[in-house]
Structure 1
Amino acid sequence: MTLTQAFEAAWLRAVQARESDAQSRRARAEQAAAGSLWAAPPAIEVNHLNDRLHSNAGRRETEVGLVWPLWLPGQRDARAAAADAESKLADAGTQAARLRLAGQVRESAWRLSSTRAEAASVAAQARYLQGVSDDVQRRVRAGDLARADALAARAELLEAQSAQGDADQRLQAARAQWRTLTGLEALPQVQPPSPASLADAALPSEEHPELRVAAQSVERARKRLDSVNLSRRDPPELSVKYREESPGYGEAAQRGIGIGLRIPFGTESRNAPLQAAAIGELDVAEAAEQRVRAQHDADLMLARSALQNAARQLDATRDRAGLLRERARLIDASFKAGETSLPDLLRAANAAAQADSAFARQQAALGLAHAQLQQTLGLLP
């Protein structure tokens, strides 16, 4: 199970995917509305008048008409431009949502890798101490060691077994989180980054999805402001009406067809709130874009520094773990030859085990730092 496969599985079940789909559908609906022939849905008018409740002379009037709201000059193009900007923002938002989810998958995968490595190290230490305890028991029965050594070895073994239980519990919790996030039982296969990949990760990338979202939010606000400026009044209405009028009983009905045009006025009370809202949206979007770009630059610098520091720490912990393992092997051989006491052996074994656990955790820390830099660069798994 690669990170790419795990990420795609997580995306299929993510709430962010549903939100992105809804935003895309809304953007497409706005584009369709902007491409309509009419500024608003047409309407039908029906009017009827008679004198039945008054003189009852048979007078009646019936009028049926259709009303079409018309686009103002330039309004349709401005509305279409705003809808296109909304569509592009929806696409950028989808990429940003995918990247945020990728960060969750990466973090969960490396946390799981660290927990697995630590659990394996603790289990190895418990097996080693089990062997030491068995060996001490045999030597106590043979009279080579005191019973106090057997008790000390047994105590160390019980402590290691307790630590193993804690590590297994943390591993189960990490696996449960992984299943919740991805819906997968298979564990991810992650490897510590190579020096070549570390160098590649430091290279600049294309614009980050979050930056594209911020820039597109500004563009959408500009297009909305243009649309408001070109919509200073409600759309005019063209109407076609058919009218039938009867003066009274026994008189011939009169019929006619008329065409009307209704042009609303654009007043300050109508336009000022709309323009203020559009200008305010643009100001907020521009300020947010500046903040996002500044934060991104800081995050990128911090991620690169963290990666370099994690690589240096990995070299140090690797060397330390190797030295302490070699020391533990030498003391183990000396203990079996009867030249070293049991407390010295146990101290050396514990120090080597702790160094191995630290090395395993640092490997995962380096992988997580590399993944976080990829995240900051806007790269998907």
Structure 2
Amino acid sequence: MKFTHPRLIIYSLTLLWLAPVPASAVSMDFVKLLDNIIAQQPEQQVRKGVQEVYNANKEFSDSWIAGDVDLIVHHENDSLTDNDNYQNWQVGVEFPLWLPSQKNAQKQIANSYGQEATAQQTYLRWLASDTLRKLVWRFQTAKIKVNAARSSLKKSQDLEHKVAQKVSAGESPRIDLLLAKKAVLKQQNQLVQKQSALTIAQNLFQKWTQSRQLPKNIKERPLSPIVMEQHPKIVKLLSGLQLSQAQLQKTRSFKQDSPRLFLGAQNDKDRNSENSSLIFEVSIPLGMNPAYSPKLAAEKRNIYEQQAIVDRAKIQLEQTIFKAQQTLASAKQGIHFSKQQYDISQQALRMSETAYQLGETNIQNLLLVQQQTAEAKLNYQLIQARSGQAIANLNQVSGHILEAQQ
């Protein structure tokens, strides 16, 4: 019975070509942080395990013995029966031998483990890229918020100083100074909160990267998704599928058990003579192993299930990539609108400050316009950061590993 399926192909080494693609215009000091993250990945233990399995199977496939070696000792003595002083001693070793198809199947399994080790290494580097991208943009966003809070506090303090002068000159009521002081206290409290969030982001960044400084040039350029079969996640899944297919081929090759070879020596002794001889014996199984069919069926099922996982992962990645593209497009449009809102807010603030100095408006209106301007500026800066983060996320889900620009 031959098992075929149009989708269950054995992927060649070309599908596991994992040369990294330059993914960004980021600086080298940014990319160097990737190695620090990789060194701390808990998943690196899994990679070591895969490498050990590959080495063991490679050594096994290079062996000319297909299994364990049995030591056999045989002795005959008629002292309790005929008592003719007959004795027979036989000592030897017995072990299975590879059939050509079995040898090739085992080599294919070893190769599959080697490809899995390569795929695992690249997959973990891709995961490390995701961690680093998230860390730097969380750090950058926290810094933007702290700088914005400091700027707002400075403007509130400047306004408080001007209001104090107007109150001293009798040009404004004392309530204006109280409201200005209240605004300063509010900005001081917000600055403390933003600094706390920045400290948390910096601490997490340092824990993973062993650096406290945010690298320069963290903004990437958007790249098109790579071929799905070369996406690190898909390559990793395909390597598992290929390993199962190699195991299926090995099971087919063991439809009949391996032949066994016995090498030994024999000594026969009676009253009149004593003879010694060498023994060479080969046993060749006939018929099919009764456990073959159930095992073959179970492995076929496993392959179908793994193929389904690969297909589902492709669909999910395509949806994730499309969503990331839409998020980036939305962020780019948001930059334009936020810039317009910020420009208008600045004009309104200048007009409100002039009107307050001339006594044409009250302090409440000026504080409100000042707050709206600060929010518009912060939104403009944040939407720019979100655009950079959206590019990084798009490159990540598209399968691009962080690399310095060539």
Question: 1:31 maps to which residue?
Answer: 58
RMSD in angstroms over aligned alpha carbons?
A: 2.5
Q: Distance in 1 between matches of 2:174 and 2:194?
A: 30
> What corresponds to 2:239 in structure 1?
216
Out of 323, 329, 333, the residue aligned to residue 312 of structure 1 is: 333
Q: Which shifted more, 215-224 or 29-38?
A: 215-224
Q: Shift of residue 380 of structure 1?
A: 1.2
User: How far 1:164 moved relative to its partner?
Assistant: 0.8
Q: Deviations over 1:87-122 (max 9, x none)?
A: 212212221221122112101211111111011101
Q: Spell out, residue by residue over 1:203-248, the C-alpha distance to the aligned partner (whole angstroms, 9 max, x if none).
A: 3424311222233333222222111111113322101111234447
For 1:116-265, list aligned pairs within 5 A: 116-192=143-219, 197-198=221-222, 201=223, 203-206=224-227, 207-247=230-270, 253-264=274-285
Q: 1:235 to 1:319 in 2, by over 3 A?
A: same
Residue 54 and residue 344 in structure 1: after superposition, are their counterparts in 2 closer, same or farther (change >3 A)?
Answer: farther
Partners of 2:204 and 2:381 in 1: how far apart?
A: 21
SS at 1:15 equivalent: coil
Aligned equivalents of 2:83 and 2:192: distance in 1?
A: 98
Go from structure 1 to structure 2 and tell me whether the alpha carbon gap of 1:230 and 1:135 turns closer, same or farther (over 3 Å shift): same
Uncovered stretches (5+) of structure 1, i.e. residues with no partner: none
Contact 1:2 1:190 in 2 (8 A): no
| Distance verdict in 2 for CA 1:139–1:64, change over 3 Å | same
What is the CA–CA distance in structure 1 between the aligned matches of 2:390 and 2:347, rounded to whole Å? 29
User: Is 1:329–2:346 an aligned residue pair?
Assistant: no
More helix as a share of residues: 1
- Counterpart for residue 280 of structure 1: 301
Number of the residue aligned with 1:366:
387
Alignment partner of 2:90: what SS? strand
Moved more, 10-19 or 150-159: 10-19
Equivalent residue letter for 1:183: Q
Aligned to 1:38, the other structure's residue is in SS state coil
| Matches for 1:342-353 after TM superposition, within 5 Å | 342-353=363-374
Q: 1:307 to 1:296 in 2, by over 3 A?
A: same
Matched residue type, 1:104? T
1:96 is matched with which residue: 109, 120, 123?
123
Aligned to 2:16: none
Tell me the residue number matched to 2:4: none
Q: What TM-score results when the alignment is normalised by the length of structure 2?
A: 0.84
Q: Aligned AA for 1:153?
A: A
Equivalence for 1:63: 90
Higher relative contact order (CA 8 A, sep 6+): 2
* 1:362–1:54 Cα change, 3 Å: farther
> Separation in 2 of the partners of 1:320 and 1:52?
111
Residues 236/345 of structure 1: CA separation in 2 closer, same or farther (3 Å cut): same
Cα deviation for residue 309 of structure 1 reads 0.9
With structure 1 as the length reference, what TM-score do the two structures score? 0.89
Alpha-carbon distance change, 3 to 53 in structure 1, aligned in 2, over 3 angstroms: farther
What residue number does 1:356 align with?
377
Q: Structure 2 counterpart of 1:99, which letter?
A: W
Alpha-carbon distance change, 335 to 52 in structure 1, aligned in 2, over 3 angstroms: farther
Corresponding position of 2:99: 72
**Contact 1:244 1:253 survives alignment (8 Å):** yes
Q: How many Å apart are 1:343 and its aligned residue?
A: 1.1
Paired residues, what number?
373
Asked if the contact 1:109–1:190 (Cα under 8 Å) also holds between the matched residues in 2, the reply is no
Q: CA shift at 1:342, angstroms?
A: 1.2
Q: 1:378 aligns with which of 385, 391, 399?
A: 399
The one-letter amino acid of 2:361's match is: T
Deviations 1:56-101 (A, max 9, x none): 9976543321223101231101111122122212212221221122
Q: Do the aligned residues in 2 keep the contact of 1:6 with 1:188 (CA within 8 Å)?
A: no
Calculate percent identity across the aligned residue pairs: 21
CA shift for structure 1 position 181: 2.3
* Distance (whole Å) between structure 2 residues aligned to residue 338 and residue 57 of structure 1: 136
- Name the CA shift for 1:58/1:181 in 2 (closer, same or farther; >3 Å): farther
